[in-house]
Amino acid sequence: MSIEKCIVTYDSWKIYVERHISDPAHETIIMVNGALSTTAAFKNTVKNLSGRFNIILFDLPFIGESLPHNTLDRVITKNDEVNILLHLIDTFEPDHILSISWGGLSSMLALSNKPKHIKKAVIASFSAHLNDKMRDYIQRARYYIHSKEFERAAELLNNEVGKFLPPLLKHINLKHISSMSEFAFQQVNFHIDQVLTLKEENYIEIFKDINADILFLNGENDEYTTADDIKKMGQYIHSCEFSTIPEAGHFLDLENRKAAKQVAEKIISFFA
């Protein structure tokens, strides 16, 4: 699989993009990260889907490989994230979307715009319902970030939503989050404040506009975005399915080989 790297301009921002090309004739998936993740977070997913699909990865302007290319003087709102995603969809014309965690919200808001190239989407580890476990987690994360206790914020992630990750990935999380830029933490604070005001009823009418087929994928052991909570979406989205990965938590295919195999099988089967 060859990798093409480029910078895409949207508004005043520069977006780092990777195109993993297995065969130009294959369908293409664009992958949408969670709040603190970069293209590196999809490394295992790309490996497990290689040879089946072409894949597009990108970093938002405030993080990862996009950060050095941007002079950031304002936070990026959820609408900005949606518009960046829609611009990349218009530019590269992928067939499908795959999102993880809070990348699911911007993905679903983008889907409500009915982008003409998108046929299907897998929305993994997402729930529009902010349950008590998730609310408690993000409130504590907010406290540590406001206090500039960034290492404790990283440890909190590893002990909560990342509790099932292997030790190596927990170490990488700790290093990644502890070394993030000051502006990135401002962005995370803004993101947390947005999440804390999240009410699913605010999005119901918007989600009803989605016409792509959706598979909601959740881990059996995920207490933060649960398989039960997401099933409410079946009342509003006309073409959706639900699947639960046994013995997996919030980070699904990053947690163990069995989960990785099952996640890849679900994605391949749904997008086929």
Do the domain assignments include residue 33?
yes
Q: Would you say the pTM of this structure is higher than 0.85?
A: yes
For the stretch 149-201, pLDDT in tens is 889 999 999 999 999 999 999 999 898 888 887 778 888 888 888 878 877 77
Structural domain of residue 105, as residue ranges? Answer: 2-129+200-271
- Number of domains comprising the chain: 1
Do the domain assignments include residue 41?
yes
pLDDT of residue 55: 98
Do the domain assignments include residue 171?
no
Residue 66 CA from chain centroid, whole number: 16
What's the CATH code of the domain at 53? Answer: 3.40.50.1820
For the stretch 116-142, pLDDT in tens is 999 999 999 999 888 999 999 999 999
Rounded to 5°, the CA angle 88-266-129 comes to: 70
Q: How far apart are CA 201 and CA 197, in angstroms?
A: 11
Do the domain assignments include residue 61?
yes
For the stretch 95-115, pLDDT in tens is 999 999 999 999 999 999 999
Do the domain assignments include residue 55?
yes
Burial of 223 (0-12, 13-18, 19+ CB in 10 A): middle
- Over its C-alpha atoms, the chain yields an Rg (Å, rounded) of 17
One-letter amino acid of 255? E
One-letter amino acid of 27? E
